[in-house]
Structures are given as C-alpha cells and as structure tokens.
Structure 1
Amino acid sequence: MKVLVTGATGHVGRHVVTQLAEAGHEVRAMTRTPATATFPAGVEVVRGDLLAPESVPVDGVERMYLFPEPRTATDVVALAKAAGVTRIVTLSSGAVTGGFDTDFQLPVEQAVEASGLEYTHIRPGDFASNTERLWGPMVRAERVVRYAQPDAPSLAIHDGDIAAVAVAALTEDGHTGRWYDLTGPELLTRREQVAAIGAALGEEVPFEEVSADEARAILERQGGWAAENAGFLLGFEDYSAGGTSFDDVDWSSALVPLPTVPEVLGRPARTYAQWARDNVDAFR
C-alpha cells in the first residue's frame, strides 16, 4: 500500500511521513521544496503543489493524507479518485465541529465526502506547535514571552498525536466515515505553557503581560504566520471575521479534555510539557 502525504513538511505532515515509514508503509511525501526536505530512508520525496492540482502525484497511490487547501480541493480529490485512491484522511479543524462555517477546512471535508471515497476527518483544536510560531522568536532572542491574557486556557495537542490519529485512520479499519475531535490531555494557561518551555530549556523564561493591542503589534512585527493570525488569536476576529471578546467565552465549560487520542491510539495523549521537551531546539 502506497500512501501520499501532502503538506509533508508541515508541523503535522512530517510526523505522518515519519510514523508511516517507521511502521513499514510505502510513503510518497509531497512538498513544494523537495531539495530541503529531510525524511527517513526509503521515503519517496516528490515535488507537488495543491494549488496546481495537475502536479499532485497521485499515480499508483492507494491512500492519501490531505492538507486543507480549499481553493483546489474538488479538483485534487477528483484526480485522486480517477487515479485509484480509495481512502482520504483530511487534516481539518475543531472549528468545524464548533459550528463555524470556515472558509478553510469545511470545503475540503465537503469535497472528500462528495467523492464517495472512504474518508476520515481529523479535527484538532489548539496545535502545540502554534506556540513556537508565536513565541519562538521572542524566546530565542531574549528568553522572554511578551503576550496578552496570561491566564487564557489551552488544550494544546502534540502534533505527533494528531499525526498518529491520522496514521491510524490511513492504515487501519474502523475509521471510515468518522471525524475525530482532538485535544491535549490537560488544561494549561499561557503562563503555564511558557513555564514548560523554560523547564525544557533549563532556563527561566518570564511571561510579561501586555495588552492585546501590544501583543498584536509584536506579532505583526514578527511577520509570517504569527502576523497573519494575530487578529484571530488575540480575539479581534472570530472565524467569520467579526468581532469577539475573550471575556465573553465561558472557558470553564468550553474547554474540556477529550478522550479521542487514547480511544483511537490505546495510550494517553502526550502533554504540552512533553511537546516542549521534544521541540526544545526550536526555542534555543
């Protein structure tokens, strides 16, 4: 069985590739920059871009892990079906379960379901890796995190656990037609997450509280993903691009650890502290 992994160098995709390869499966890893990709021996690395469906290498593939690109999802899925792909596992978002008609994940889920192929949707909430994209530049440069709302809670999930659920859905029976909402195993505040990063580094990393406006300005200066998502992450926008207030959310009832990871994998979900130890080099 050959599995195509799109978005193979992403935070989750690279784990999907590695876990499939380590389990002995034949893997084709698709990336826009194959020359810089580093994967286990035996992985077939190919160039492809979801924005150019004709470049997606679906020939000879039986199953596919699909990164969410809504603009071309219908065409990519149609090409996969015509090539003989029988099962697609999509990386989606917990926002879909929450009832948000997102422009990002929902169209991809709809395209896959309409194809008639076997499918599973993976819907993680807060990615632990997002904290590296938010705070990594500050920690690396100054060993400090300047951010808003230090007591805001998170159920951040280890990217490797997201990937492990996706791999199970790709390679095992019993997951077809299901969607899996994923969270980490414990509720931590942002201040506690920063403390876990410091513990992994073996150094103190203070959390310096700033206003939401100041935090947004900091992220915008950083650029990249942090700047693009600053408005949503800090409560200036919701999934419909409208206004929302952090204080209007009843976090005590909205954030509850879900048992999905242990139910699917037969082991506990990994903690944020474990994620920080596994990714400590990103903060050095």
Structure 2
Amino acid sequence: MTILVTGARGNVGRRVLDRLHAAGQPVRASSRTPGELDVPAGVDAVPLDLNRPETFDAALDGVDQAFLYAEPAGAKELFAAAARAGVRHVVLLSSSTVHESGAPLDPLGRFHAAVEEALAASALSATVLRPGAFAGNAYGWSAAIRGGRPVRLPYARAHTAPVHEDDIADVAVAALGDPAVAGRILTLSGPESLSFTEQIGVLSDLLGRGVPVHELTREEAVEEMGPHMPAPVLDALLGQWAAAVDRPVRVEDTVKRITGRPARTFRQWAEEHLGAFTPADS
C-alpha cells in the first residue's frame, strides 16, 4: 500500500521520497501547494496543510505508512486522521532538542515535544527520529566563504555532531520497512563532534585556502541574527551554543545500528556540496 511523505520539498522529506520511489514503493507526496512540487514521474502530489485539518483525510486515504512532519496546532487532528485511515505505522521527524537540557525553556524543544506527546496519545504505531544539528546548517556560511569574507558567528568553538541529511533519510526509510523499530525513539547524530571552527576548517582544507572567522559577541549576534528569527528561538540557540563551547557533544551510533553502515562524516557532506562554497569564477 501507499506511503505518504509530508514535507516532500524539504531536505529530508525529498530524500525519503526519492529513496522510496527508487525502491519501487508506491509513494505519495504532500504539500501545502502540491502544484509546486517537482516529484518523480508516477508519484502523486496531494494537498496537505498541517494547519488545516480539513485537508488530512483525503491526503491519508489509502495510506498504509507515513513519514510525517507535524506542527503542534494540528498534530492531534493529523494523528487522529491517520488512525481513521488505517495507517499502520508512522515515522515522525522530530528533533534532539526534545531531550536536551533546558528543553522546557527552548521554543524548538517545546514545539517538537508537543508533537511527540500528541503522537504518544494517539492509537498509532510509530517510530520517532530525533536528529541533532544538520550538516546542511553549514550553508549559512556559504555566501561569506564564496565571497572571500570572514565567517561571522558567535561561540565559534561550540560543538555539534552534524548529521548528514542522507543518513536521516536512510534511517527513515529503514524504519518504514522494519516493524522492529516501532515504538522506538531514535536519536541521530553524525560520527564526530566538531566545533564550528573545525567545520569551517574542513571547508577551508577542501577549498585549498584559508577561511577567516570573526567571532561575534552575543550582543552582536543578536543584532545580526535577530531580524531572521524570533527572539525566543535566537535566545535559546545562543544559549545552546554557549553551553557547548569547548565541550564535545555526545555521538550516537544509531545510523550504523539501523542501516548497518557508518554515518557519513561532515567532510563527506562538505565534499558533496563544495560548489556552494566555491566562487563562481573559480
């Protein structure tokens, strides 16, 4: 039967969609604006707006499994609609912020915790994925690096264990095919803890040139980053980074346990996406 993929234009959702389609699985993509989706030939694209429960039943009709991203406001209704449709198993894309210290005060942690609570209260069999920092967050440095300018960021020595989006998708697809992971919460990370400076150093090494770093004070960071995200989210993010300065984060072996192969490194991600950091005239 059909597998529904929500967030089909996103970094993870599109990868899940492509993997399922390549494996010959009947798959359906959903979006608030399905007409704008560029999906593989033969894949249906249907409307599903996470803030409009009236779109849920039609999108889920005939669906056996689902890869879901949800929003707190409509999560209860979405999971109820999935249960009504007879969905056998759900893989939910959540976040590691749910279990990190300070989560009750973190807007992102509260967001995902509310969705997980709604899922736990539903009648659905589910696997929850909690990835940490995405390797793709490094795209935020690309314009400065391409332009030969210093990367401006606060807490340059803060650590993350960046997880490759392909690894998240591989785990999601494995979870959709393996009933043994039902009911489990899978925390995902990359294979190594790296500071922001070390991640930029990887890019510098691959580019064959130095990439200067200008470390912002917290006040400067608020001034520069504030226009691009809500103040509570920025405050929580800066707090996380401050707490991670010179403190390697926990590395999980989930990717290897579920897929049978090691997680991709940040260097692998950087090699694959180096064009985003390379000047056009190079």
Q: Structure 2 length as normaliser, TM-score?
A: 0.86
Secondary structure class of the residue paired with 2:83: helix
Deviations, residues 148-192 of structure 1 (Å, cap 9, x unaligned): 222111111111111111111112221111000111101111011
Cross-structure match for 1:275: 269
Match of 1:72 among 71, 74, 94: 74
Deviations, residues 56-97 of structure 1 (Å, cap 9, x unaligned): 311111111110311100001111111121111111111223
Cα distance between partner residues in 1 of 2:33 and 2:238: 32
The total of aligned residue pairs comes to: 271
Cα distance between partner residues in 2 of 1:188 and 1:248: 10
Cross-structure match for 1:156: 162
Q: Is the 8 A contact 1:220 1:228 kept in 2?
A: no
Q: Is the 8 A contact 1:120 1:178 kept in 2?
A: yes
- Structure 1 residues 178 and 11 mapped into 2: Cα distance closer, same or farther (>3 Å)? same
Q: Which amino acid aligns with 2:158?
A: A
Cross-structure match for 2:192: 186
Cross-structure match for 1:206: 212
Higher helix share: 2
Cross-structure match for 2:62: 60
Of residues 57-66 and 105-114 in structure 1, the stretch that sits farther from structure 2 once superposed is 105-114
Cross-structure match for 1:89: 91
Cross-structure match for 1:32: 32
Q: Is the 8 A contact 1:6 1:67 kept in 2?
A: yes
Secondary structure class of the residue paired with 2:197: helix
Counterpart check, 1:49 vs 2:49: yes
Identity %: 41
Q: Which amino acid aligns with 2:115?
A: V
TM superposition shift of 1:203: 4.8
- Structure 1 residues 13 and 201 mapped into 2: Cα distance closer, same or farther (>3 Å)? farther
Q: Is the 8 A contact 1:150 1:191 kept in 2?
A: yes
Counterpart check, 1:103 vs 2:97: no
Cα distance between partner residues in 1 of 2:244 and 2:155: 14
TM superposition shift of 1:110: 1.9
Superposed, 1:104-183 pairs within 5 Å as 104-132=111-139, 134-183=140-189
Measured on the aligned residues, the alpha-carbon RMSD in Å equals 2.5
Cα distance between partner residues in 2 of 1:48 and 1:181: 27
Structure 2 unmatched ranges of 5 or more:
none
Cross-structure match for 2:242: 246
- Structure 1 residues 272 and 214 mapped into 2: Cα distance closer, same or farther (>3 Å)? same
Q: Which amino acid aligns with 1:64?
A: A
Secondary structure class of the residue paired with 2:24: coil
